[in-house]
Amino acid sequence: MAFPVGFGWGATTAAYQVEGGWDADGKGPSVWDTFSHQGGERVFKNQTGDVACGSYTLWEEDLKCIKQLGLTHYRFSLSWSRLLPDGATGFINQKGIDYYNKIIDNLLANRVTPIVALYHFDLPQALEDRGGWLAEATIESFDEYARFCFSTFGDRVKQWITINEPKMFVLMAYEVGTFPPGVPHPGTSGYQAVHNLIKAHVRAWRSYDSLFRKEQKGMVSLALFAGWVEPADPNSVSDQEAAERALAFHLDFFAKPIFVDGDYPEVVKSQVASMSQKQGYPSLRRPQFTEEEKRMIKGTDDFFAVQYYSSRLVKHQENHKGELGILQDAEIETFPDPSWISLDWVYVVPWGIRELLKYIKDTCNNPVIYITENGFPQGDPAPLDDTQRWVYFRQTFQELFKENMLPLGGNSHSDKKGKYLGFCFFHSSL
């Protein structure tokens, strides 16, 4: 298997998962610091990210690993509260700037391209205390933070992710409560958070486009988590419709407004409206975009960053009891094929990524697509002869080669559309 010229190998980390130094050198607390310190098994074995991988003090060791692996790209996230301890530019932490300048400069000196995520679930606690992602004021705070980062690091960083996996964040934080703030309100808070996250991305993208793009010549998008789904019974109309709803609620919820027409999928709107009526709500449980907002949202992308791990089968599951929840509104049940090999939650379905990329190509105006996360969980303990993981990767790439999806060289804003992949990143967080 020969990889084309321009193909890139990379790894991905997230600030809270690897940095440690939770209160070092002027860093303010994030929601994850607060959440993990509360105890009560809110986090597995009451673990915290206080030390994590110690990357804040051991970055040079991480750099050695990056060089040893021969990576061409490294995607990492910035800790908002390390740079702006209270979430605003009124108090800027120079030690935080120095730390990220060191990472960026070291990467470039070793011919490794940095890709930087502004937000990977670790909102400054000061902003959460004022309402967090349920408050519209956080949209303005995020835009201020994004402009600060573009101004501070954008002379060297040319590829930006505004928000990492907003769907997963919303489900875990506001539907289930296993992510901070940890106070779930299924079927209501999640929709408001989705609304504000989309508008925050849009504000940041528009700021980059109007204030920084001409000089910095970079690219900005957001990273969307998505698995592929197939009807449990391919001959069942209800299962086929369930698969369409699953994609609409899991992927198109964010992709359609940004990449297509500025508004939520019609099936999402109709499902929530129908369920709200059945549940006796006097109005929709889901906020709506104004016509002006739709015009501002549409086209706020420079590439499509997708994060794929696995696939599921799906069938219709009517919400007879009128339970509240985003997934309950979708009226679906997802499950793996019993023949699929798995480790933890990842089932090995290599053809799923090919189907997903084709779907994105066909429904999102044929964007340039970057796989910004993909991979297979390590065993416990991780085996030295890691056969399962390299088989997963090999089969995944075999599927991508079937339709000439690999890749793309180049990474400029003017890249021609109609190609599938820019670079592949293999998830390496905790």
Those residues with Cβ within 8 angstroms of residue 421's Cβ, 6 or more apart along the chain or in another chain: 357, 369, 370, 371, 400, 405, 406, 407, 408
- CB neighbours (10 Å) of residue 284? 14
Q: Distance (Å, rounded) from C-alpha 27 to C-alpha 166?
A: 24
Q: Is 379 left (phi over 0), alpha (psi -120 to 50) or beta?
A: beta
Residues with a catalytic annotation lie at 165, 373
| Helical ranges in 289-417 per DSSP H | 291-297, 326-330, 350-363, 387-402
* Nearest CA-CA partner of 198 in 281, 279, 286, 278: 286
Give 196: exposed, middle or buried? Use CB within 10 Å, 0-12, 13-18, 19+. buried
Pair 391, 350: CB distance under 8 Å? no
Q: Distance (Å, rounded) from C-alpha 403 to C-alpha 400?
A: 6
Biggest CA-to-CA distance, the chain: 61
Residue whose entry in the numeric block shows the structure tokens 């490294």: 74
Pair 310, 349: CB distance under 8 Å? yes
Buried b (16+ CB within 10 A) or exposed e, 301-326: bbbbbbbbbbbbbbbbeebeeeebbb
Q: Distance (Å, rounded) from C-alpha 22 to C-alpha 205?
A: 29
Amino acid sitting at position 202: V
Those residues with Cβ within 8 angstroms of residue 313's Cβ, 6 or more apart along the chain or in another chain: 229, 230, 231, 232, 334, 335, 336, 337
Pair 265, 306: CB distance under 8 Å? no
Q: How far is CA 298 from the centre of its chain?
A: 19
Pair 407, 4: CB distance under 8 Å? yes
